[in-house]
Structure 1
Amino acid sequence: MDDLCSLLHLGRDDEFLRSVNVHVLNLFSNLIVDGIIREHLKAHIGRFFDVKLSLCTAELVALLRLLGNFSMMDDACVSVGKYFSEVFEYVASESNVVRRQAWTVLLNLSCNKRCVDVILKTEAFDGFETGVKGIFTEKNEVILLKSIKFLCNVYQGMRIQNRKPFSRESILNALLSAKANLILQATLFLTQAGSASEEFADAQRLLLMLEDC
């Protein structure tokens, strides 16, 4: 495992090394089902985020794919959830592929109750509320569907939370602040979307949760 990790040269501005990084990250994505490998990567997950600003698009997509697989594992997802704010930054990317991979990670996290708790307790950050309110402007149907499902899951998690322990600066309170805007947007979306679409069904579910939150 150490030999494989030694092949990673994240942050280096060299085309060949970037190509190697992509292949190694994709290999890790396939090996993540192995518990020993997963534990090793969990111990070093912060390293990936330390160099995220220097990654090219291909490296970033490979990293997000790895994090997406990580976030599906019950014993590893919280390790990714702690970096919720860093992952969320990429929902504003100009690249459809990056946005889709970022929302895949976020959606996977939102399917785990412990991760939802971590997300809701995270301190709100610049761009979060704007990103949430911009979900219904997404033109890519796959990304739109993932983002609506994510909101359904986190608002569902809010319904069963004791809100007293949460700080005013928490994601939970930022989501409460965004609620009225999202109700308007979801209502408008439902008048325009095809009633047989999966997006329509999820937007209906989201609207019910928003009104009940």
Structure 2
Amino acid sequence: MKRRNVPIVPVVCELNSAARLTRAMEQLALSMVFLPDAMVMEAEWRANPALGQKLEEERAQKDIRAPSAIFLRQARLALVVRRMLQEKKVSHVHATSSRALVCALILQELIDVTVSVTIEPRPELPQSWIESALRKCKGGRLSDRKLLRERRSSFVFDKAAFCSTPRKVVGLLGKNIGIDLTTGASFWQEWAELLVRWSGEKA
């Protein structure tokens, strides 16, 4: 994406402090934007009571809702992130998990951005919510074949979810489901092209 002059702003909302970082991971972290701690985010939330109430009321009116604890956490993240995205003129947000998708869809309501997502193999959000949320996304990477069959072609099978699995096992699994899971380079090329396309589209 950098070769095509599409700037990337990797935002870290939540970090596993217990995880051990390699030198490569530490170098990568230098290019990331880390959000402030919980106290700062809570202050931002309290400084915008009308907007916070509006988001909660909109959630209450929906037939299919994200769990309240996850929603409130992600809503606070969204209020902090939105200002930064507006300053950097970000047009597309990619959520890296089902939890992050809650935040991304709130951002979609607040500012003019399109959204894509990677849904993890064992998502924390209910299946009904995920199915509803995917309709608001430009596309994404899915590990669930049933979800994938019901989506348009801009959703792809998430081969990266199997990168830690032995290659022989991955090959056999791919043969059974009719998808080649072993071609890493072509997969990432396809994925990058989709992100580039979505980044240029209007919300």
* Superposition TM-score, scaled by structure 2 size: 0.31
Which protein is richer in helix relative to its size? 1
* Superposition TM-score, scaled by structure 1 size: 0.30
